Structure 1
Amino acid sequence: MWRITWSALLFASLLPGLIDSNTNAERELMEALLQNYSTTTRPVFDVTKPVRVVVYPTIYGMVDLDEIAESLTLMIWQGYRWTDEFLEWNNRSDEFFTSKESKNLSMINVPINQIWTPDVVVFNALDRTDIIERDQLIAKIYKNGTVLVSIPQVIPFRCRFMIEYFPFDTQNCTLVYGSWALTKDEIVVSTELNATVTDLSRIVLQAHSEWDILSLTNEHRLTDYMDEIASLDVGNIFSELHMTLTMKRKPAYYIYVLIIPTFVLTQINNMGMFVPHNAMSEREEKVTLGLLTLMTMAVILNIAADQVPRSAKGLPLLGWFVMFSILISALAILITVGLLWWHEYTVLNKVTPPKWLMWLYREKYKRTSKKQENEEKIMHHPNYLKLHSIESTVEHENRTPDLLQSTQLRDLIDTLRTQISRHEARIRAKELDADIDEIWVRLFRKIDATLLAIFFVGNILGSVLIFV
């Protein structure tokens, strides 16, 4: 127990000296490496050899996405790696080192402003904000000359959005890395990332409320830019790295807030317009319901207009869907108004239903049975019985020689017959009109049911065709 205690005390007393020794060795090595070092010269002994800069960005967060301005702002840890042949000490002679400790160091930390750094930038960046000031950044330098630098930045860059399939769209935003001044013979930009997002980026971006990050692919390109200073005919070729971030939108918000309410509202409007009715007043109430539905959909359209990104290529899927719903609701209202006018015209003018419409809906008149009922009513009518009694009396009195009285009775009978015939005609006309009205009511009910089925199914098929 005492041995352990004394060992711990001895290590604690020697630890400051060890740290001091390592710090001094790192400072001595850094001073030796940076002696006669130039931060403006490419770090290669062979000037014909390009410097290979490896880029490995880590996306830490999506700060903003402006679809109208077509820009995406990312918080990125920009990682760069290259080899500085002037800062290598693995193959140096012993005379180069001031102490054995400095020779045994495998890595040192050097302020980034004291060494050469590549002028690699994001070409399509709209701006750049360094989270840490440049003079505060530290570069890790290894004994073989490998330099590692991590620069946290917030970069808004141009991204062309294809919103034709909004809100079920997938977007590809490309970061273009390259040297601002050095050609492909002087610097080559590449990466060692595979086609998937780094683990840290995936963990961070999975929590985003609107976007799923699918992949981060890369492609090396050689791009020819015109060198206007040297000659208009000679172009310089630059090494570029195109890193494409593929994102898929999460459509749940738009489905539950816009698509489903609009679809349900349209179906309710169609049902309200074409539910079978009993009178013209009910159809007028349907027109009022349809107009209220259109006003509600106008409010939804206003909400959608704020959510849908603008594009010169036309409306996205969500815009077409809302437009389709408004048009089908407006068409249902127009047809209902037309049926209202038609129904009123048939009632006021006692129009007989056309044969093709009767045949289409398997309707027929009930005048035969009505006629039999009318004849029975007339035969039992008091006037008809009175007339029959008078006729019997006349036939009996015809046997008497009083011709004048017989003629008067015959005139009375003719008058009664005329009145009864007129009464019978009026009854038949009223019942025929009632029969026609009843047929029209049944026809309009069946027409409403047919239109209800057509609009109900049509709205479903139209919505499916828009989004499929």
Structure 2
Amino acid sequence: MLQVFVFNIPVESGERIGFSTTLLLAITVYMTIVSNRLPDFSYLDISYLSNFLLSDVTSGILLIICVIQSLRFYHAPVMQQFPKVWVPDLIVGNPYGSNINLAENGRVVQFTNEGEAVWQPANVFEMNCVAQIAYYPFDMQNCTFGFLPWGFGVKDLFFNVVSQELMNIYFSPNGKWEITNTRLYSQIFYGDQLLRLEFTFKRRSRYEIINTVGPIIILGMLQVFVFIIPVESGERIGFSTTLLLAITVYMTIVSDRLPDVSYPDISYLSYFLLSDVTSGVLLIVCVIQSLRFYHAPDSQQFPKWVIYITKVCSKWKQKVSPKDKQHINDEQIVNSDDIHVPTASEEEEREAPPINWPMISGCFDKICICCFTCICMIRTIVLFVMLTM
């Protein structure tokens, strides 16, 4: 009867084998004692006690076999693989190309010693994702992968999400994207249950800032300096057209790095490049007009608006550096009747320098420098505000 209690001994104690073999040894000892006290012949019949001891030895051997098998079950690997087990047909809800059935590539199911079935299908997935490129290169992408149990409704198959966070044990960091958030959840969609995996990516923008955004802003600021180049050098047109060509090259590079879609929005950097190209074209027009002013013949009549702009530019220049006033001693008194106060028109005629076409070209260059500098600063500030919202 004591043999039965071997299964009550905890497996972790390591005493089951020793206990069962000790009992078997005790039974064989008692069997030897009984056989020594009985006559050694087989005629007519054998003692019932000998038969009982023999059955005890047999049950003891079977008990040891059961104990060994129990220990094998306990210390077996956590999971055992069974290749011929039913698994649901899970298809990708938003595939990029052909549809993928997870059950086709992995039907091996692992069972734990607690009866839990584990199915781990592996595959490489290509799925559709709406690209949010408005804030490139500071953009964040939110992609959702959907898996649909084909042919099974909510009553037939139910997804019980244990944890909403995905495990990233085997994830290796990417040099271009950083995963900021993951989410796993189930959703009822037209009577079918979907298993959705949501990933939030953030672009690592340092490379794009150094190689794309920085040069674009520098080229835009460099356009203003075309009006500082002396007209006599003959390099203004070449300088401005080269900058415009460089900006269009960067516009092509940026467009190649972004998907050619218009929904939900276009990158603000593309708008900035378009404004750069527009300002570059206007700048070339202004440079040509400045050269026309400079090389105009002296016999050509001045338009009224050109004379007005030149006078305003000349007055502004005089107001920037006013002459120091002369201090008059208190002892020097002059009679007010001897002083002639000039009128505004006389003062303007006396202070206004003679107008010529090179002067008009210089005033036009100054106005263009102020205007294009303001445009460049406003565009750059608006770009950074929009990208970092």
Q: Does 1:357 align with 2:309?
A: yes
Alignment of 1:32-181 (within 5 A): 99-103=66-70, 105-106=73-74, 109-125=79-95, 126=97, 127-128=99-100, 134=106, 137=108, 139-181=109-151
Tell me the equivalent position of 1:275: 228
Q: Does 1:208 align with 2:208?
A: no
Q: Does 1:315 align with 2:266?
A: yes
Tell me the equivalent position of 1:304: 254
Rate the CA distance shift 1:110–1:363 in 2: closer, same or farther, 3 A.
closer
Q: Identify the structure with the greater strand proportion.
A: 1
For residue 315 of structure 1, give the secondary structure of its aligned residue in structure 2.
coil
Given the two structures, how large is their TM-score scaled by the length of structure 2?
0.62
Matched letter for residue 220 of structure 1: S
User: How much is the aligned-residue C-alpha RMSD, in angstroms?
Assistant: 3.2
1:146 deviates by 0.9
Q: Tell me if structure 2 keeps the 8 A contact 1:214–1:248.
A: yes
Matched letter for residue 311 of structure 1: V
Please give the alpha-carbon distance, in whole angstroms, between the structure 1 residues aligned to 2:259 and 2:156. 42
Matched letter for residue 198 of structure 1: M
Please give the alpha-carbon distance, in whole angstroms, between the structure 1 residues aligned to 2:66 and 2:92. 42
Matched letter for residue 66 of structure 2: S
Q: Does 1:336 align with 2:287?
A: yes
Tell me the equivalent position of 2:38: none
Q: Tell me if structure 2 keeps the 8 A contact 1:269–1:329.
A: yes
Q: Tell me if structure 1 keeps the 8 A contact 2:177–2:202.
A: yes
Q: Tell me if structure 2 keeps the 8 A contact 1:112–1:134.
A: no
Q: Tell me if structure 1 keeps the 8 A contact 2:294–2:360.
A: no
Structure 1: gaps spanning 5 or more residues: 1-97, 225-236, 365-433
Please give the alpha-carbon distance, in whole angstroms, between the structure 1 residues aligned to 2:198 and 2:88. 22
For residue 222 of structure 2, give the secondary structure of its aligned residue in structure 1.
helix
Tell me the equivalent position of 1:459: 376
* 1:274-303, Cα deviation, whole Å (9 max, x unpaired): 2164x5x44x42122111222222322332
Matched letter for residue 189 of structure 1: F
Number of residue-to-residue matches in the alignment: 279
Q: Tell me if structure 1 keeps the 8 A contact 2:186–2:196.
A: yes
Q: Tell me if structure 2 keeps the 8 A contact 1:361–1:443.
A: no
Structure 2: gaps spanning 5 or more residues: 1-64, 317-352
Please give the alpha-carbon distance, in whole angstroms, between the structure 1 residues aligned to 2:314 and 2:106. 88
Tell me the equivalent position of 1:371: none
Please give the alpha-carbon distance, in whole angstroms, between the structure 2 residues aligned to 1:308 and 1:170. 13
1:155 deviates by 1.5
Please give the alpha-carbon distance, in whole angstroms, between the structure 2 residues aligned to 1:458 and 1:269. 11
Rate the CA distance shift 1:164–1:192 in 2: closer, same or farther, 3 A.
same
1:184 deviates by 1.0
Instruction: Point out the more displaced range, 335-344 or 243-252.
Output: 335-344
Matched letter for residue 202 of structure 2: K
Please give the alpha-carbon distance, in whole angstroms, between the structure 1 residues aligned to 2:194 and 2:212. 42
Please give the alpha-carbon distance, in whole angstroms, between the structure 2 residues aligned to 1:101 and 1:176. 47
* 1:196-215, Cα deviation, whole Å (9 max, x unpaired): x53425xx34x311111011
* 1:146-191, Cα deviation, whole Å (9 max, x unpaired): 1123233212122222222222221111111231122111211132
Rate the CA distance shift 1:112–1:162 in 2: closer, same or farther, 3 A.
farther
1:271 deviates by 0.8
Given the two structures, how large is their TM-score scaled by the length of structure 1?
0.53
* 1:39-65, Cα deviation, whole Å (9 max, x unpaired): xxxxxxxxxxxxxxxxxxxxxxxxxxx
Please give the alpha-carbon distance, in whole angstroms, between the structure 2 residues aligned to 1:435 and 1:141. 100
Matched letter for residue 222 of structure 1: I
For residue 253 of structure 2, give the secondary structure of its aligned residue in structure 1.
helix
* 1:316-356, Cα deviation, whole Å (9 max, x unpaired): 22221221211111111111112222333363415387653
Please give the alpha-carbon distance, in whole angstroms, between the structure 1 residues aligned to 2:86 and 2:278. 65
Rate the CA distance shift 1:159–1:190 in 2: closer, same or farther, 3 A.
farther
Please give the alpha-carbon distance, in whole angstroms, between the structure 2 residues aligned to 1:322 and 1:355. 36
Q: Does 1:246 align with 2:200?
A: yes
Q: Does 1:187 align with 2:157?
A: yes
Q: Tell me if structure 2 keeps the 8 A contact 1:167–1:317.
A: no
Q: Tell me if structure 1 keeps the 8 A contact 2:80–2:112.
A: no
Tell me the equivalent position of 2:355: 436
Tell me the equivalent position of 2:277: 326
Q: Percent identity?
A: 17
Please give the alpha-carbon distance, in whole angstroms, between the structure 2 residues aligned to 1:457 and 1:350. 32
Matched letter for residue 175 of structure 2: S
Rate the CA distance shift 1:151–1:219 in 2: closer, same or farther, 3 A.
closer
For residue 181 of structure 2, give the secondary structure of its aligned residue in structure 1.
strand
1:363 deviates by 4.6
1:216 deviates by 0.8
Rate the CA distance shift 1:129–1:172 in 2: closer, same or farther, 3 A.
same
Please give the alpha-carbon distance, in whole angstroms, between the structure 2 residues aligned to 1:352 and 1:363. 19
